[in-house]
Chains A and B, each alone.
Chain A
Amino acid sequence: MNRLVDVDRADDLPILPARYTGRWVAAGVVLVAVVLMVYAAFTNERFQWNVVGQYLFAPQVLTGLGRTLMLTGIAMAIGVLLGILVAVCRMSSNPILSYSAWAYSWFFRGTPLMVQLLFWFFMAALVPTIAFGIPFGPSFFEIETNAIISPFTAALLGLSLNEGAYMGEIVRSGIRSIPRGQTEAAQAIGMSRAQNMRRVVLPQAMRVIIPPTGNETIGMLKYTSLVIVIGYGELLTSVSIIYSRTFETIPLLIVAAIWYLAVTAVLSIGQYFVERHFERGFSPIRPAREGRITSRPAGVHVSSGHATLPAAVPAVELERLK
């Protein structure tokens, strides 16, 4: 017998991992390309890195950054709440709620955000005074529209109402991803529709809702720059005010881009932890830590770590029945 491998000695043969020469070549190409780009950017004097450094932490820029963050945070918070409201209304059995929610989404998704911002800002031109009172009857007090609509409130109204329409669809997709049996189980233990939504459906739907909401938040961070049209001094407006004076356009746009990138990085990390929180019970993790349910009554002592024999006790009852 002429065998290449002696089968009886096969366990002596070492196992070698496969070789991926192509990967090493590709990595080399990418590395060279990146080094070239970075080198080109840093040696090109027209990028004016010294100006970037000079303005990166300038008070005006930091104020703008603060306002961008505030606008993003508040607009997203309102947007998410509106989104939940819109989704729940849209899926309601009440036809008035359902059609109203649909119409809201249709309108705010169907017109450009910039147009909506301008509309809110110039609302005083359409509606000079806002009156509170009985419809078509006497009014109790009136207020000048211009007194409430500042660049900030116009920006907030425009961004959050627009966001609510998009979040509505995201929340709806999350709610629809939960099997019908969950709602039936909630109903069977006597939960109301609101309790079912709050305690059963939404906590599970969050797994589906979070990733696109992360997208929306990062999108919102940059959409806030649209409020430049109504002159609210957020990050991009702040740098534009500086470069219109100094004509150092490119380095100041780089300053803004660096901050947007930095905040996006922080938000992405935050998203990771939020996702992990709502992964509870879905990933193959260890049992919940002792103490998740607090105030365990004294005297309840249960051994853990080994399986009980569940059939043991009832089997006795079965005997008795016979």
Chain B
Amino acid sequence: MNDPIVSARQVRKSFGHVEVLKGISMDVKAGEVACLLGPSGSGKSTFLRCINHLEKIDGGQLWVQGEPIGYRQVGNRLRELKEHETSRQRASVGMVFQQFNLFPHRTALENVVEGPTVVQRRRRAAAIEEGMDLLERVGLADKRNHYPGQLSGGQQQRVAIARALALKPTVMLFDEPTSALDPELVGEVLDVMVSLAASGMTMIVVTHEMGFAKEVGDVVHFMADGCLVESGDPRQVLEDPREARTQAFLSKVLA
């Protein structure tokens, strides 16, 4: 089964008169770690948010596991999905936010079991057992009863990763997961992501961590001004970029 898990064809998105995605096409295969790089405002976060329908696309097509996101194919037309159908689609796509967005009124463990128990209606005892395993996996089992406000940024982000994993997603989206962290906390989150990649998870990562992209990424996509400028093997794109736009960006970032 080598069909792509996510495929985008000419995806367009505008906010008012500003076109932030000008026709993005890319495929992400199962088990692949795809890193989206590019200057801020290039549309990479918006593209990521389109993949789980937090943003509606204005044109083109976006398929996740063979289903058009936000739509249902009826003959050769696409019918917009109702809200509860979109919710079902979203649960198979895990998302990790730049600002963590943990639920502050729930403990670490409660955050993790929220999805399985409330959305998937699984048995609470089983969900808690799996939730504990997940917290163990991100190294935070002893913080299960802490509220997010009592955890460091890096710990919060690791709980957020566990929360997304609890729904057993087929693809994980990371929206600049380390950009809001103090420098000394970046490593612990990247380590969790590295082990996740090693376990075979399909990941799409918007990041400014060039080291992560080079070491862990299978593919790097460089975006600028709403366009996909260059895609390819991380070492090739980062060390020997073909496009002038990529070169200009990398020379600034790596300087």
Binding site for B on A (CB under 8 A): 179, 181-182, 184-193, 195, 199-200, 203-204, 278, 280-282, 284-285, 287-290, 292-293, 295-297, 300, 302-315, 317-318, 320-322
Contacts and interface: CB of A to CB of B under 8 A. Distances in A.
Interface size bracket, B side: 35 or more
Contacts of A182: 101, 103
Contacts of B215: 318, 321-322
Given A292-B110, A308-B140, A321-B216, 14 more contacts: A187-B90, A190-B88, A190-B115, A192-B83, A195-B119, A281-B147, A287-B150, A308-B139, A308-B141, A310-B139, A311-B187, A318-B194, A318-B215, A321-B198
B27 interface: no
B29 interface: no
- Majority SS at the chain B contact face: helix
Interface of B: 52, 54, 83-84, 87-88, 90-91, 93-95, 97, 99, 101-107, 109-110, 113-115, 118-120, 124-126, 128-129, 132, 136, 138-150, 155, 158, 160, 163-164, 166-167, 187-188, 191-192, 194-195, 197-198, 215-216
Given A189-B167, A190-B88, A295-B125, A318 B191 contact: yes
A119 B117 CA distance: 48
B107 A292 contact: yes
Contacts of B120: 190
A298 B195 CA distance: 27
A297 B125 contact: yes
Which of A179, A184, A186, A189 neighbours the largest number of chain B CB atoms within 10 Å of its CB?
Answer: A189
B139 A313 contact: yes
Nearest to A312: B139
Given A303-B142, A310-B192, A295 B119 contact: no
Given A280-B105, A293-B107, A190 B119 contact: yes
A282 B149 contact: yes
Contacts of A296: 128, 132
A281 B106 contact: yes
A190 B91 contact: yes
Which of A182, A185, A195, A315 neighbours the largest number of chain B CB atoms within 10 Å of its CB?
Answer: A185
A180 to B, nearest CB: 9
A184 B97 contact: yes
Nearest to B52: A188
